[in-house]
Structure 1
Amino acid sequence: MSGDPHHPVPPVAKPAYHHGDLRAQLISAVRELVETHGPDGFSVAEAARRAGVSSAAPYKHFKDRSEILRGVVSEAMDRLRSAMEAGATAHPLGSLEAVAAVGQAYVAFARAEPGVFRLMFGLTEGHEDAPDLMAKGEACFGVVAQAVALCLDLPQADAEVQRRAYILWSFVHGHSFLTIDMKHKVASTAIDDWDYLMAVSHAMLAGS
């Protein structure tokens, strides 16, 4: 049907591209590629293709490839912290189970996204120039420290809380890497994550 020449039909506006949407799409595409090919095994053009944008589009939001990877790490740290917090709140405050659940969320993240997990702790060069990443890493540790503080009924800043939280984090961090690297297979029996985490939490916090 033709339109009235004196009142032409206005062109249909294209949907606006929101900055945050494109950034999130690119980060999601790179996350998938990191899991498949590793942080060094993909091209920015391939990530753009997966996100459905031109090969030049990523550079409107990221300076270079390294900045894209930092964006992936930053987003992953947010998700890890949220998962750890959810684990803690799923159990009574101050309980050993709440502490163990923080660790369980950590291990589960490593199992689900081993490529991104390795990237988070392998992308250390330049972190001193990335205070946002440093702050997010400290926030993740803060979830552990808070669960420990509630268990010990001490302030989170207490030196003993910080010491025990660090030891617990070290145990869980090591177990996570051993798990995704399959090195735990050297054990003579299968190690159940929850049993392991409860045993470590009990050893560090029970009767304190």
Structure 2
Amino acid sequence: MAKQGYHHGNLRQALVEAALELIRAQGPGGFTLSEAAKRAGVTPAAVYRHFAGREDLIAECARQGYAIFADVMEHAWNGGAPAPLAAFGATGRAYLAFARRFSGHYVAMFESGIAPNRSPELAAGAERAEAVMLRATEALLSSLPAARRPPASMVAAHVRAMSHGVVELFARAAPGTAGPWAPEDLLESGIGIYLRGLGILPPDT
């Protein structure tokens, strides 16, 4: 295998791309640094010029994932245009799209056991991504009287949990995950039921 990453002076990113391929194929715990080095076309010793170990490499995959995720969510939210409810629905679809398109990053972020507070850079990326959902949730809740308004952070956590559940159970291209409903429809209907319970949407007649 040609040492493309090394020869182009971007060994660090070549190792990240190799790790992402291995995460997609084998999961975050299913590969070694030696395998990542081999896939990047360098010796295992070369990895340590850039990463302290396998977890450090996965953490960089997660950091880059959070940066992409935040961009995707901010684009979907679009400042709440054309209306907060419609924009909120767009963020849900964007969540599923990100999980499909950047599955290696998604797993590194949410399923690798790497804590967001592992480093200041990783924490900042995670906080930026979460801030988009928090802003969207605050905009939706603003239509409720203050006395009936639940904490925006709690509502955002509920929606994230629902989104992650749909990804895990129905949005992965694994045997047995296909169902009679599209993941987007499942998420939209679930969030709709939740928002009706909060009083943000009128009762379904």
Same fold (TM over 0.5): yes
1:147 aligns with 2:111: no
Inter-CA distance 101–46: structure 2 relative to 1 (3 Å threshold) = same
Inter-CA distance 36–147: structure 2 relative to 1 (3 Å threshold) = same
Inter-CA distance 16–34: structure 2 relative to 1 (3 Å threshold) = closer
Deviations 1:119-170 (A, max 9, x none): 322333665543433332232221111112233448xxx9632232222222
Partner of 1:112: 101
1:167 aligns with 2:158: yes
Per-residue deviation, 1:35: 0.7
Unaligned runs of 5+ in 1: 1-14
Inter-CA distance 128–45: structure 2 relative to 1 (3 Å threshold) = same
Q: TM-score if structure 1 supplies the norm length?
A: 0.72
Answer with 132-141 or 77-86: which moved more.
132-141
**1:130 maps to which of 116, 119, 123:** 119
Deviations 1:165-196 (A, max 9, x none): 222222212212222367765x6x31450563
Partner of 1:76: 65
Give the aligned length: 186
**1:206 maps to which of 194, 201, 205:** 201
Partner of 2:16: 27
Whose radius of gyration is greater, 1 or 2?
Answer: 1
State how far apart, in whole Å, the 1-side matches of 2:182 and 2:40 are: 39
Deviations 1:25-55 (A, max 9, x none): 2101110111112223323233223323333
1:178 aligns with 2:169: yes
- The answer (yes or no) to whether the contact 1:23–1:61 under 8 Å persists in 2 is yes
| Other structure's SS at 2:38 match | helix
**2:75 maps to which of 69, 86, 89:** 86
Q: Structure 1 vs Structure 2: percent identity of aligned residues?
A: 26
Instruction: Within 5 Å, give how 1:5-20 maps onto structure 2.
Output: 18=9
| Other structure's SS at 2:73 match | helix
Inter-CA distance 96–184: structure 2 relative to 1 (3 Å threshold) = farther
Inter-CA distance 177–196: structure 2 relative to 1 (3 Å threshold) = same
State how far apart, in whole Å, the 1-side matches of 2:115 and 2:160 are: 23
Alpha carbon RMSD of aligned pairs, Å?
A: 3.1
- The answer (yes or no) to whether the contact 2:23–2:30 under 8 Å persists in 1 is yes
- The answer (yes or no) to whether the contact 1:94–1:151 under 8 Å persists in 2 is no
